[in-house]
Amino acid sequence: MSEKASQLSRRERQIMDIIYAKGEATASEVASGMTDAPSYSTVRALLRILEEKGTLKHREDGKRYVFLPTEPVQKASRSALKNIVNTFFEGSLVNAVAALVDGREKISPEEIQRLESIIKQAKNR
């Protein structure tokens, strides 16, 4: 899914965000969760496209289709983040982290401690 996930349109990404937040959703639940939602038939068409791309699957609940992601959010978010790092930061983890840190006015002591712990673990590998 990692390559497929990086090829999602803005609307497809919005739909995936809604489904990840809910865990699963019907087309009407997706449409009601969208800002400036397209027509119901457009939402259904987008859900079908997402199934064809392999990012969603569905189960039947009576007459309704309930849509679920094909990968856990953690795996999908890692793939998306890797794509962002490759696209915007020339594949450099250092440049990506620097952009995140430089863009914040304040980093809490807890966040700094967590970052230091992650760096220490990386050094020990």
Return the pLDDT at 10.
Answer: 87
Kindly report the length of the chain: 125
Q: Measured between alpha carbons, how far is 57 from 71 in angstroms, rounded to an integer?
A: 10
d(CA 111, CA 101) in angstroms, rounded, equals: 11
Q: Residue 29's pLDDT is what?
A: 97
Identify the segments of the chain with pLDDT beneath 50. Answer: 1-2
3-state secondary structure of 88: helix
- pLDDT at position 86, please? 86
Domains recognised in the chain with CATH numbers: 2-69 (1.10.10.10), 91-125 (no CATH)
Look at residue 4 in the predicted model and tell me its pLDDT: 54
One-letter amino acid for residue 83 of the chain: N
The per-residue pLDDT for 66 is 98
Predicted pLDDT at 83: 79
Q: Residues near 113 by Cβ (< 8 Å), separated by ≥ 6?
A: none
pLDDT for 1: 43
**Two structure tokens written together for 112:** 């700094």
The predicted pLDDT at position 27 comes to: 97
Question: What is the reported pLDDT for 60?
Answer: 96
